[in-house]
Amino acid sequence: MARVNLSNIWQKAGNHGLSKPNNTFTDKWRTLDLPHDFVIEGEFTSEASHSNGFLKGGKAWYVKKFRLPESARGRRIFIEFDGVYRDSEIHCNGHFIGRHLSGYTSFSYELTDVCNFGGMNAISVQVDATENELWSYEGGGIYRGVRLVMVIFESSLNQSVFNPDWCGLRLLRLGISRQGKKKKRCESGEVSCRHVHGCN
């Protein structure tokens, strides 16, 4: 199994965004690194709750574009989110992937069936931070790390670790014994993915 850090160079917009790799609308969005809180970027107003620091919540879109090599075909691809506040909807390459409610639990989805192997991929995250969960400032956005996880299954532990460097994505093999009792696990480091410029 390989976990790849996807926390750098995301994009955020205050309006609707699309999760298709050829979507040029996102070329106008501004780029940013995660974690990100879009609520703190707002203006203070007496119309907002004092428990949220007199800052209004709201909705936002984030988009991440990345390339998967053709040689990744046959691997199972997942995305892991450590935290998105508050409710979120995830799309990948134009397909609805899932909805997660609550801003304080991590979650993940499998992307394998909708991935473009040998080409560009895009993930969009719609964040709805209009509701609160606590009586204190909570912010809004993708406020924790995100990783792309690629799993390679092997039938035996008697194989060497495989770690090719694909366009900055570092993948490592997960070996599982036939009895399923033993496994060898290695994790990757950083990923350097191509990004598109963003907007405000």
Averaged pLDDT for residues 20-28: 79
Extract long-range pairs of 178-185: CB within 8 Å, 24+ residues apart.
182/157, 183/157, 184/157, 185/1
**Number of domains the chain is built from:** 1
State how far the Cα of 114 lies from the Cα of 121, in Å rounded to an integer: 9
Q: Is residue 159 part of a domain?
A: no
Q: Is residue 182 part of a domain?
A: no
Q: Is residue 113 part of a domain?
A: yes
Q: Which domain holds residue 39?
A: 7-145
Q: Is residue 17 part of a domain?
A: yes
Q: Is residue 194 part of a domain?
A: no
**pLDDT recorded at residue 94:** 86
**pLDDT recorded at residue 30:** 85
Q: Is residue 126 part of a domain?
A: yes
What's the helix, strand, coil split of the chain in %, to 5? 10, 40, 50
**pLDDT recorded at residue 179:** 40
The residue among 66 and 12 whose pLDDT is bigger is: 66
Q: Is residue 24 part of a domain?
A: yes
pLDDT per residue as tens digits for the range 71-117:
899 999 999 999 999 899 999 888 889 999 988 999 999 999 999 99
Q: Give the contacts of 98 (CB within 8 A, at least 6 positions apart).
A: 89, 90, 107, 109
**pLDDT recorded at residue 84:** 94
> Comparing C-alpha atoms, which of 158, 155, 161 is closest to residue 186?
161
Report CA 102 to chain centroid distance, whole Å.
16
Averaged pLDDT for residues 170-191: 36
pLDDT band at 11 (very low <50, low <70, confident <90, very high): low
Q: What is the pTM of this model?
A: 0.69
Q: Where are the alpha helices (DSSP H) in 28-142?
A: none
Strand partners, 4: 148
Averaged pLDDT for residues 181-195: 32
Above 60 in pLDDT, residue 195?
A: no
State how far the Cα of 68 lies from the Cα of 116, in Å rounded to an integer: 7
DSSP 3-state of 121: strand
Above 60 in pLDDT, residue 190?
A: no
pLDDT per residue as tens digits for the range 110-167:
999 999 999 999 999 999 998 888 778 888 999 999 999 998 865 444 443 333 433 3
- Report the phi/psi class of residue 86: left, alpha or beta, with left for phi > 0 and alpha for psi in -120 to 50: alpha
pLDDT per residue as tens digits for the range 34-72:
899 999 888 888 888 887 778 888 899 899 999 999 989
The residue among 179 and 132 whose pLDDT is bigger is: 132
Q: Is residue 85 part of a domain?
A: yes
- Burial environment of residue 154 by CB neighbours within 10 A (0 to 12, 13 to 18, 19 or more): middle
Largest CA distance in the chain: 65
Beta-sheet pairing, 10-13 with 31-32:
antiparallel
Burial 58-79 (b: 16+ CB within 10 A, else e): eebbbbbbbbbeeebeebbbbb
**Domain harbouring 90, CATH code:** 2.60.120.260
